[in-house]
Amino acid sequence: MRHPVLFLLVFIFLALAGFKAFHHYQMHRRYENISRFDYFSQDSIDYNYYDQATLRIYLDNCQSLTDIAKTLWLKDGIDVTKTKEAFGEAQSRINRYYRLLRYTQILEGKLIQSQDMKDQGLTNEDISIILDKDITIGAVESEKDKRTAFEYLKGKNVSGASKPNEIWELQKLLNANDYNLTINGIYDASTDSALLDFQKENNIYPSHSCDDVTLHKLAE
């Protein structure tokens, strides 16, 4: 009777040893090329992006994508770059990976676009205006003029009684909004007519003066 029992014990031992060896082999295979799941930030992104908070989010997302992909591979044997369907918690991780990937790629696009524009000689200020306002590169100077005029005219309530340099800036703002005034610093009939027309078009009381409500709208 001893031989069959001994044989059975040896068989169980060898089976367990084989299973353990196979498990180690499988884990070794999983770890062997795990670096392929690293989501690296692109070389072509702008690391001096005007909004550093956005850059930090992008870099954090790269690390999170790496962590999720490696967890799926090591814990579930799922290559998230090839598989989008699983069960239970693994499916939740896959879904989170792809949601995060889409958002990260949007940020990546902005950072690459920013570097492209810097390569053309634009500054962070120029790029922030272009992206915030969704305008072309050619419209940057006009938008910068708007911002300068807005800061200068805040609280001044420009009218016919204002200083010539204030009227000058108002005329520039009106022209930036598709009027065609002669910029001369004189509050003439054409300047007053353009201001009234702008106020009426934007549902602002036609006051014959550029108050802060009108100014905000002119500078948009």
Task: Give the separation between CA 220 and CA 115, rounded to whole angstroms.
Answer: 26
Cα 3 → chain centroid: 72
Task: Give the separation between CA 6 and CA 19, rounded to whole angstroms.
Answer: 20
Q: What is the mean pLDDT of residues 73-96?
A: 93
Return the pLDDT at 144: 86
Q: What is the mean pLDDT of residues 93-98?
A: 97
pLDDT tens-digit series, residues 169-215: 999 999 989 999 999 999 999 999 999 999 999 999 999 999 999 99
CA distances from 121 to 39, 124, 168 (A): 29, 10, 30
Alpha helices in 77-139 (DSSP H): 88-119, 124-133
pLDDT tens-digit series, residues 16-57: 656 665 555 555 566 678 999 999 998 999 999 999 999 999
Phi, psi of 38 (to 5 degrees): -65, 125
